[in-house]
Amino acid sequence: MKFKKQLALLVLLLVCAGRTKADVLIALGMAVTALGSAAVPEIYCYFRECCNEKWIFFDGGLQADIEGQLFGQHIASSIILNAVTGFMSNSIPKKPLVLSLHGLTGTGKTFASKLIAKSLFRKGMDSGHVHMFSSELHFPHKSQTELYKSQLQHWIRGNVTNCAHSMFIFDEMDKMHPGLIDGIKPFLDYHDKLDGVSYRRAIFIFLSNAGGDILTQTALDFWKAGKKREEIKLKDVETALSLSVFNNKDNGFWHTGLIEKGLVDFFVPFLPLEHSHVVQCVMAEMRAKGRTPDSSIAYEVAGEMSFFPKDERIFSVTGCKAIASRLNFF
């Protein structure tokens, strides 16, 4: 029977190649007739993304991507790699994986979340199982906070019901209305199931600029002391970072139960980027565009960027965020 299915699928692929939608539907109907209705899911998942091992898998590519593309973030790289690897290796996790990424703009938070999605889903960020929310776009009005809570709960419940391995990314947490994110607290807690649905295989990632000032000051202190940034450890910033976002009234984590109940697995610090890291970003962007990396151009592009503090000019104001447009100019 297995050979029969494989043969039918091969024939179906050949028949559908270059055909119209109507032809595909006819061919699909013929295959179902030949194999029976039980074969419908298998045939469908050859053409459309499904919640199965063909479309969702962890192949170890995350380490190579992080080492080769995420520059200047030794703490974040280690935490993300170990956290995601450990979570995906656990066949029975006790709770969803919850990561909160903090740092100034352009330091790699959004890029890191894309690398995670790429390592888990065949379609990466284009996967139907990856959902990204922007605070200013999806939750703009403070007066509608309770409505947003209800909508968010409904959205998450529906998508996790459809696929346990769903991934949710919340961008601009520093601009989210306080109290809103507590609406999803039950989904992040240690529950086997809620109303018959298990959320333990889902991944939640929060992106925020909050705490960037603390990370910058820590990096600056190490620099002034003549220490390498690689000497900065998680313990040097984690407590101050979590307390900062918890007590800041102007961000979505203000007095949130997610922090109070210890539901955030890791507060991941993204340090401000230095000149050498910007050069690496330019070189990587050249490779991504199919060009031969040219160090002289990379240094020229980096040299045109703005750095702070004013006198020392150590850290990039926008990190690597504007690299693509600057490179096009050069």
For the four alpha carbons of 243, 186, 263 and 78, in that order, the dihedral sign comes to: negative
Q: How many other C-beta atoms lie within 10 A of the C-beta of residue 267?
A: 25
Residues comprising the chain, all counted = 330
Here the tokens at position 44 are 């469908």
- Distance of alpha carbon 95 from alpha carbon 87, whole angstroms: 10
Q: Name the token pair of 230.
A: 């690689």
- Give one DSSP letter per residue of 136-202, joined into a string: HHHS--GGGHHHHHHHHHHHHHHHHHH-TT-EEEEE-GGGSPTTSGGGGHHHHSS-S-BTTB--TT-
- Determine if residue 196 is labeled as part of a ligand binding site: no
Peptide bond into 309 cis (omega under 30): yes
Is residue 85 marked as binding?
Answer: no
DSSP codes, 243-261: HHHHH-TTSTTTT-HHHHT
- Residues in Cβ contact with 71 at an 8 Å cutoff, skipping those fewer than 6 apart: 108, 273, 277, 280, 281, 284, 320
Q: Does 207 belong to an annotated binding site?
A: no
Beta bridge partners of 133: 170
Please indicate if the annotation marks 256 as binding a ligand.
no
Q: Which residues contact 266 (CB under 8 A, 6 or more apart)?
A: 79, 83, 98, 99, 100
Phi, psi of 226 (to 5 degrees): 75, 20
Cα–Cα distance for residue pair 55/65, rounded to 1 Å: 19
| 110 known member of a binding site | yes
Question: Tokens representing 199?
Answer: 């959320």
Query: 105 labelled as ligand-binding?
Result: yes
Q: Which residue ranges are tagged as binding site? A: 103-110
Q: Which residue ranges are tagged as binding site for ATP? A: 103-110
